Amino acid sequence: MTVFNNTYLVIRHGQSQANVADIVVSDPAIGCVQYGLSPLGEQQAKTAAEQYSGTAITKIFTSDFTRTRETAAIVANTLNLPAPTEDIRLRERYFGEWEGKTSAAYEQVWAKDALTADNNENGVESTAQVRARALNAILEFDAKYHGEVILLVAHGDTLQILATAFNDLPPNQHRTLPHHETGELKLLVKQGDAIPPQVLNTPKK
């Protein structure tokens, strides 16, 4: 049986300025330089770190979007951890032509997702693509490290889609899982847990 060498935690960024403005910000050209955390989002990140009571976190990897970098920095500072490492595989799902539209666009994309894991309509990144890149990051970390407690700082859709691999679901069924709230920190998988076949069989990207 192949098992995980590390424990993985995940946190969605705190409430962002994009959340407050009710717009889709998924383009790295915009999201990596604008739309950081709101004051509430900053507090959510700090509270998540303060309330964490599990095994001590040792490493933090984060999406390079402003809202995730700021969340990761707050958590690291609160817990006196080394500076987080950026990894573009943890980025927000790209929503194509829905960029800059209101959050109502998400429901339309999710309705299409439910039909196929390869939904690329309107230039949207498919759930299969999102899951593959996020899992490739985890598999790389697991090959490199041993005995670490690794926190991944990412985005709502990215984390929902990633979670399907650990709940024996196809990636396009991500909306059947509990909603991952802003600033919510969760356990993804523990060191010593068996690596699911769908994770081991992740396409290389």
Among all residues, which ones are annotated catalytic?
13, 92
Determine if residue 19 is labeled as part of a ligand binding site.
Answer: yes
Euclidean distance between the first and the last CA atom of the chain, given in angstroms as a whole number: 24
Which amino acid is residue 102, in one-letter code?
T
Determine if residue 67 is labeled as part of a ligand binding site.
Answer: yes
C-alpha 113/C-alpha 131 separation (Å) is 13
Determine if residue 18 is labeled as part of a ligand binding site.
Answer: yes
Determine if residue 38 is labeled as part of a ligand binding site.
Answer: no
Determine if residue 16 is labeled as part of a ligand binding site.
Answer: yes
Determine if residue 160 is labeled as part of a ligand binding site.
Answer: no
Alpha-carbon dihedral angle through residues 47, 157, 70, 38, given to the nearest 10 degrees: -70
Determine if residue 12 is labeled as part of a ligand binding site.
Answer: yes
Determine if residue 108 is labeled as part of a ligand binding site.
Answer: no
Determine if residue 122 is labeled as part of a ligand binding site.
Answer: no
Residues in the annotated binding site: 12-19, 67
Residues in the annotated binding site for substrate: 12-19, 67
